[in-house]
Structure 1
Amino acid sequence: MNFLYPGFLFALLAIAIPIVIHLFNFRKFKKIYFSNVQFLKEAKEQNSSREKLKHLLILMCRILAVAFLVFAFARPFIKSSSTNSPADRSVISIYIDNSYSMETVNKEGSLLDEAKRKAREIVKTYNLNDQFQLLTNDFEGKHQRLVNQDEFIQLLDEIKISPAGRSLAQIINRQQAEYAANTNHIAYLLSDFQKGFAGTEPLRSNPGVSVNFIKLNANNLPNIAVDSVWSLSPVHQPGQAEQIVVRLKNYGEEDAAEIPVKLTIDQQQKAIGNVAVKAGASVLDTLSFSGLKAGWQKGKVGIKDFPLTFDDELNFSFRVNKELKVLSINGDASEKFIRSLFSSDPYFKLTETPESNIRYSTFSEYSLIVLNGLKNPSSGLAQQLKGYVQNGGSVVVFPDLDAGAAVYTPFLTAMALPPVQQLVTGAPISSTIDLKNPVFKDVFDQVPRNMDLPVVNRYFSYGDQNSSLKESILQLPLGRSLFAKYNLGAGQVYLSAASLTIADGNLPRHPVFVPLMYKVAFASVREQPLFYTIGLNNLLESPKIDLLANQSLKLVTDQFEVIPEVRQTPGKTLLYIADQVKKAGFYELRKADSTLAVMAFNDNRTESDMHYASEPELTSLFGKQKVSVYNSKRDALSLNIQAKNSSTELWKLCLILVLVFLVLEILLIRFFNNPKNIQTA
């Protein structure tokens, strides 16, 4: 016989109470004087043995009543005596949710500790020859095999809170895919079943698998999380003012006020703030700072919010470039507009080269290449520029209209750009500006009604091919573009219909020209994401990294490194990290001893939402398929044990025996040896 709750057996010490009562007879005696006691002595001798027997029987009834009452609370059961063959043994898969939300507490302690206790109770109700699988959010290799009861308990004790996040669909699929051929497959899932974990998509379960949800109940806790950050600065320059936008989200049921926000970069405090967040709402806060040096920056936004703290910090990283390199290939050495534009700002490092002396090998060193009035662009240049753009580069083309369509059409088509249809001349034509284009974001504080627009006297009219790739920034009548962007491969080409010659129009002297070209240059800088989310971003992108045959890349943090799978694509290098990154923090991307990038990882914010799926919501996910949902408060583990593992429960029999012995005690007291005893002094 086994007990589901053996701890109650300590209450058997209560058996001592009726024994003590039996040993000390607390009856009060009354003295009665008789002249002759001969007949009383005979009566006493006859009743003495029956009185002792009565007391012993009452004592036994009381002892057995107390004992079986204790047994009833300990929930005894008898395992099946039949010995199953290996083919008939049961496979029990138990999932323990070890996400951050399981750190919350209730009357039983932390939810993770409660889940471990329930899992032990489940295991003990099965036969010794049954096999068990333990599953957590980590999907560790040691959990991908079947173990016996003792090994399962050992693995259970090793479970700790993990930043890894999974969905209910992933858990169901993993539990049922491993041992689908087994006919006696039983699955248990112990979790708080957050709504983000459960999801809303319909789920399907293998009809041959008995699925049991054991819902752990947590106390409702307020929680405010640092949800995300993004930068308002188009590029990061040394010493320049920067702005970071922080989004905080209140997952609680009450408003929160005076939440301190702190921004640190490279462990130096750069800005502080103080915000209020309404219940269930989000709020944005802009933090300004400056004084950055060139190189990779490790930033962190933090708040103080108790008792849940795993989402109080958010890591991010970015690179401050010392300079932005621009190459201008000039058809006319006297051209001055591009030189004046980029030479006025020390952040731009302009290199000029004549059309006749182009060094193709240096293209990869520049973020932006400007073709300024080339008189005879060659097919070789077109092929080199096409490869440069495919690999993520940016090119701006200002044609020389005097060269004509016969020269520029082969050049443009070789770069996968539209051909020149004709050279349009005539009266000056005003263009229109697409102010909603990202290029002009934050350029105009207020748009005047009668805005001065660029005017052109002559221009190239291009064909309509590749229109799906075209994004008009400055537009002419009849749907023709004055300045358009074409996305090609990993890069982009900006094609102008007019030249920078004053005789062709006023574009180079128009006030819109400077912000237009600066924004084009800023957009040529390929920025990596500020941060990645653990469990969601398993594919990382990096600018093209050239590797030798036996060379590899590594993601390195404190006493831990990840070797990602590397795949080369046009213009970028893809890094597959799978589930190797499990801890939030900063990871350096290294090639040999050189650091190529710093990448920030954060925990998934789906764990921040402390709202839980109800039992009807869980069952509705499976439609008409039958799944069992138990609530830990109602002692779900003791329900249907016999149906689960062919065991026989005895607690009802114990309660019946308690009543039987209490009735026997009453009958003994009332009807056994009832005549009065008279005891002499």
Structure 2
Amino acid sequence: MNFLYPGFLFALLTVAIPVIIHLFNFRKFKKVYFSNVAFLKEIKEQQSSREKLKNLLILCCRILAIVFLVFAFARPFLPSTSKIDQSKGNIVSIYIDNSYSMEAVNKEGSLLDEAKRKAKEIVKAFQLNDRFQLLTNDFEGKHQRLLNADELIQAVDEVKISSASRQLQQVINRQQSIFTGARNRFAYIISDFQQGFAGNQPIKTNPNTNVSLIKLNSNALPNVAVDSAWLLSPTHQAGATEKLVVQLHNYGDEDAKNIPIKLTINQQQKAISSLNIAAGKTQTDTLAYSGLGLGWQRGTLSIKDFPLTFDDQLHFSFKVNANQKVLSINGQTAEKYIKALFGADPYFQLTEMPESNINYSALASYSLIVLNSLDNPASGLAQELKSYIANGGSVVVFPNVKADKNVYSAFLTSLGLPAIADVNGNATKVSHIELKHPLFKEVFETLPQNIDLPQVNRYFNFVESSQRSKEDLLSLPAGKLFFARYPMGNGQAYLAATDLDNDDSNLAKHPVFVPLMYKIAFVSAKEQPIYYTVGRNNVLESQKIVLGANQTLKLVADNFEVIPELRQINGKTLLYVADQVKKAGYYELKKADSTLAVIAFNDNRTESDMHYSSADQIKELFGKQQLTFLDPKSDSIASAVSSKNNGTELWKLCLILSLVFLAIEILLVRFYHTQKPGLQAH
């Protein structure tokens, strides 16, 4: 048996007090004169032995009462197998899961309220001088400060449900960062341990940290969530009909039937639908809408599903532009088909530049660049276009087959395109069109059997490489390239085998040319994501934003305003908001009083799956590492924690024994008679 406060054992010296009282109990006897003492002698002898026994019993009770009272203050305990040295002091980190799943209710109330109670009980098991950390999913800066017991209990009362979600390994890593010095380290994790929280990857802990898990009991709940959505067209025109794909996920164990879906844009209902979703599966639906004006659009997809409602809405935003900027860089002998194609449509804002006078600084502002029969493409242009493509731009190359093939070959290889092998002057015809490619989607009402394809009289043969990613759109006989797409970085390049001169091919006058170029222009539009996820996306992308000397950007919403950090990278602006956005909804990016963008945020859907990891599954993640599970059904988590850390404490037993011996003393004094009944003097 050991003592937590052995210094109190010096108080055992107080045992001398009742002993001294017993030894020096000087009583004055009164003399009584009596004629015959024969009977009195017998009475005296009998009373004396009973008196001595009574005094000894009282003395023992007093000594034991004092001894056990001193022991109670010295906190005796039977050491545990953990061999924790309590003299070093303790640092205790307590994590309370405050994600959406903790709103679930069991017979103890909400899981979050139960977690708060358990956290307070843990605090009671530690000492006055121990220090505590409270950690939640918010990972706020104040959570890195050590608190005393009273401060921690107050902080626990302030914990509320948060949209942030973390994984178990993240929590353990965050707890480890607070542990410093030689103090004993204790980490407590209170959670319902959703499968998304626990994960399926091995968990690593510090062997010097005592990790304890408290798994709150909750039942699996049915839940259908608006999982994701995406627009079918990257460009948006005023009044045009567009389509949005929505995906619902049924996280429950039973089929969900007739789940209603509603699409609203700018608070106006645009479409409705309903879906049946099998248990544990996803289902998509396509919603069509029209009638949009210019500017930023705020859309919301919503369903009705109970009891969990936090994932029943998905916000998104996009911009309807008045035009799309296209650049045509022309050689001296370039044909006018590009100008005729894009100049006739008011949606496209076409700019033409001669190859001898190119404004390189303006290239990033165009969504599509067409190289129209350049005579002598420069290496500097190749480097600028390579950077432009890497940052999401699209380039279409119609080479001049009359130009020096060696110059063109060097230019193309600088762009990452295949080198030119030779010039072929044998007339032929395009033999294959890849109608299943997304560029040709919805171009033909029905797939033709014997489609008329372009004729070509003179073209380049290229040196193909299997290591280069390529998508053939139009092919010549023997699989030779006629028009192909090459994905590069965030953008793409399109390469034709000939120019638009009618003497070289009839491509420019062929019916496939117009829809092909239009679709390339549409898919080349640079569009930001239609929504971000709270707690996951802390970096926002935008087209290049130029600020004046005293200007700043602000991200604002109702009762919210933050100034993001800006970084200009390769013609675009990155906005760093860290973890300051904590609520789903719409946020306006403002420059002074003008709105540059509307950005939508949604809650993380990892909280939607209301299935939980079992204790055995969690233990498997930790492998052979030391781990303790504390039963939340226990009447006293504090006792379980104390027993684990300190061993079996005996101070309560000592206090009870002290009171028992005091009670025995009182009974001896009051009811133990020294005179034998019936014995009298005559």
TM-score scaled by length of structure 1: 0.78
Residues 302 and 312, structure 1, Cα contact 8 Å, conserved in 2: yes
Mapped pair 1:212 → 2:200: no
Q: Provide Cα deviations, 1:218-260, integer angstroms capped at 9, x if missing partner.
A: 2433211111111122421110011111111122223322322
Alignment deviations for residues 95-146 of structure 1 (CA, whole Å, 9 cap, x no partner): 1000001111111111101111111111112221222111111111212121
C-alpha change, 1:333 and 1:156, in structure 2 (3 Å) is same
1:118 aligns with 2:118: yes
- Aligned 1:551-566 pairs, distance under 5 A: 552-566=552-566
1:87–1:443: structure 2 CA closer, same or farther, 3 Å change rule? Answer: farther
Residue of structure 2 equivalent to 1:303: 303
**Contact 2:164/2:582 (<8 A) preserved:** yes
The corresponding residue for 2:649 is: 648
Q: Are 1:214 and 1:636, in contact at CA under 8 Å, matched by a contact in 2?
A: no
Q: Provide the secondary structure at the position in 1 that maps to 2:630.
A: strand
Counterpart in the other structure of 2:519: 519
Structure 2 Cα separation of the partners of residues 111 and 352 of structure 1: 65
Cα gap change, 1:565/1:355 in structure 2, threshold over 3 Å: closer, same or farther? closer
CA distance in 2, matches of 1:375, 1:269: 54
1:494 equivalent in alignment to 2:499: no
Describe the shift of the 1:130–1:451 C-alpha distance in structure 2 as closer, same or farther (beyond 3 A): same
Local SS of the residue matching 1:310: coil
Q: 1:82 to 1:500 in 2, by over 3 A?
A: same
Counting only pairs closer than 5 Å after superposition, residues 368-517 of structure 1 correspond to structure 2 as 368-378=368-378, 381-382=381-382, 385-386=385-386, 388-413=388-413, 415-444=415-444, 446-464=446-464, 468=468, 470-477=470-477, 479-488=479-488, 490-517=490-517
Write the distance in 2 (CA, Å) between the matches of 1:359 and 1:640: 72
In structure 1, what is the Cα distance between the partners aligned to 2:295 and 2:438? 27
Residue 131 of structure 1 aligns with an amino acid whose one-letter code is R
Measured in 2, the distance between the counterparts of 1:335 and 1:243 equals 36
Change (3 A) 1:479 1:178: farther
* Residue equivalent to 1:529: 529
**8 Å CA contact retained: 1:489, 1:571:** no
> In 1, distance between residues paired with 2:466 and 2:257?
53
Counterpart AA for 2:112: L
Letter in 2 for 1:169: Q
Taking the aligned partners of 1:622 and 1:295, their CA distance within structure 2 comes to 52
What CA distance in whole angstroms lies between the structure 2 residues aligned with 1:166 and 1:345?
50
Match of 2:642, as an amino acid? Answer: I
**2: distance between equivalents of 1:256 and 1:615?**
29
Distance in 1 separating the partners of 2:567 and 2:479: 41
Counterpart AA for 1:527: E
Please give the per-residue CA displacement for 1:276-314, whole angstroms capped at 9, x wherever unaligned: 323222221221111111111111111122221111111
Structure 2 residue aligned with 1:104: 104
The residue aligned with 1:639 is: 640
CA contact (8 A) 2:168 2:198 kept: yes
Contact 1:91-1:132 within 8 A present in 2 as well: yes
1:194 deviates by 0.3
Q: 1:279 to 1:387 in 2, by over 3 A?
A: closer
Q: Distance in 2 between matches of 1:449 and 1:80?
A: 96
Q: Does residue 197 in structure 1 map to residue 213 in structure 2?
A: no
How far apart, CA to CA, are the structure 1 residues paired with 2:440 and 2:422?
29
1:109 to 1:430, Cα distance in 2 relative to 1, 3 A? same
CA contact (8 A) 2:429 2:453 kept: no
Check the 8 A contact 1:404/1:423 in 2, yes or no. Answer: no
Contact 1:294–1:319 (8 Å) recurs in 2: yes
Paired residues for 1:241-390 under 5 Å: 241-331=241-331, 335-352=335-352, 362-378=362-378, 381-382=381-382, 385-386=385-386, 388-390=388-390
| C-alpha contact 1:392 1:571 (8 A) present in aligned 2 | no
SS of residue matched to 1:187: strand
Q: Does the C-alpha gap of structure 1 residues 366 and 498 become closer, same or farther in structure 2, counting only changes over 3 Å?
A: same
Question: In structure 1, how many angstroms separate the alpha carbons of the residues matched to 2:230 and 2:185?
Answer: 48
Deviation of 1:627 after TM superposition, in Å, equals 1.0
Instruction: Quote how far apart the aligned CAs of 1:352 are.
Output: 4.1
CA distance 1:625–1:389, change in 2 (3 Å): closer
Does 96-105 or 325-334 show the bigger shift?
325-334
Unpaired segments of 5 or more residues in structure 2? 1-70, 78-83, 659-682
Take 2:73 and 2:133, find their aligned partners in 1: how far apart are those partners? 21
- Count of residue correspondences: 584
| 3-state SS of 1:178 partner | coil
Query: 1:153 deviation in Å?
Result: 0.7
Q: Which residue of 2 aligns with 1:596?
A: 596
Q: Judge conservation of contact 2:125–2:641 (CA < 8 Å) in 1.
A: no
Query: Does the Cα contact within 8 Å between 1:630 and 1:636 map onto a contact in 2?
Result: no
Q: Aligned to 1:175, what secondary structure does the other structure show?
A: helix
SS of the residue 1:423 aligns to: strand
Superposed CA RMSD in Å reads 3.3
1:616 has 2:616 as partner? yes
CA distance in 2, matches of 1:630, 1:452: 75
Output the amino acid matched with 1:277. Answer: I
Q: Secondary structure at the match of 2:522?
A: helix
Q: CA deviation at 1:520?
A: 1.0
Amino acid at match of 1:643: K
Contact in 1 for aligned 2:76/2:649 (Cα 8 Å): no
- Corresponding residue number in structure 1 for 2:167: 167
Partners in 1 of 2:405 and 2:269 — Cα distance? 58
For 1:145 and 1:395, how far apart are their aligned partners in 2?
Answer: 54
**Per-residue CA shift, 1:338-362, capped at 9, x if unaligned?**
2343244332233445556655555
**Residues in 2 aligned to 1:451 and 1:656: alpha-carbon distance in whole angstroms:** 102
Looking at structure 2, the residues matched to 651 and 285 of structure 1 have their Cα atoms a distance apart, in angstroms, of 66
Q: 3-state SS of the aligned residue for 1:494?
A: strand
Q: Distance in 2 between matches of 1:144 and 1:361?
A: 46
What amino acid sits opposite 1:641 in the alignment?
S
1:443–1:632 CA distance, 2 compared to 1 (3 A): farther
The amino acid of 1:438's aligned partner reads P
Residues 95 and 135 in structure 2, CA contact (< 8 A), matched pair in contact too? yes
Which residue matches 2:11?
none
Aligned-residue offset at 1:527: 0.9
User: How far is the alpha carbon of 1:203 from its aligned partner?
Assistant: 0.7
Ranges in structure 1 where 5+ consecutive residues have no aligned partner: 1-76, 658-681
State, as a whole percentage, how many aligned pairs show the same letter: 59
Separation of aligned partners in 2, 1:476 and 1:208: 69
Shift of 1:647: 6.2
SS state at 1:213 partner? strand
Q: In 2, distance between residues paired with 1:394 and 1:142?
A: 47
2: CA distance, partners of 1:362 / 1:110: 58
Q: Contact conserved, 1:368 with 1:395, CA < 8 A, in 2?
A: yes
Distance change in 2, residues 1:640/1:329 (3 Å): closer
Q: Distance in 2 between matches of 1:554 and 1:181?
A: 42
1:415-450 Cα offsets, whole Å, 9 max, x none, are 454443321111314343334433334444553444
Aligned to 1:11: none
- How much has 1:267 moved relative to structure 2? 1.6
Q: Distance in 2 between matches of 1:656 and 1:444?
A: 95
- Distance in 2, matches of 1:257 and 1:105, equals 25
Q: Residues 39-74 of structure 1: CA distance to partner in whole angstroms, max 9, x if unpaired? A: xxxxxxxxxxxxxxxxxxxxxxxxxxxxxxxxxxxx
Query: d(CA) in 1 for partners of 2:657 and 2:255?
Result: 54
Greater Cα offset, 527-536 or 177-186 = 177-186
Letter in 2 for 1:503: D
Q: Distance in 1 between matches of 2:593 and 2:393?
A: 27
Residue matched to 2:137: 137
Deviation at residue 605 of structure 1 after TM alignment: 0.3
Rounded to whole Å, the distance in 1 between the matches of 2:375 and 2:461 is: 18
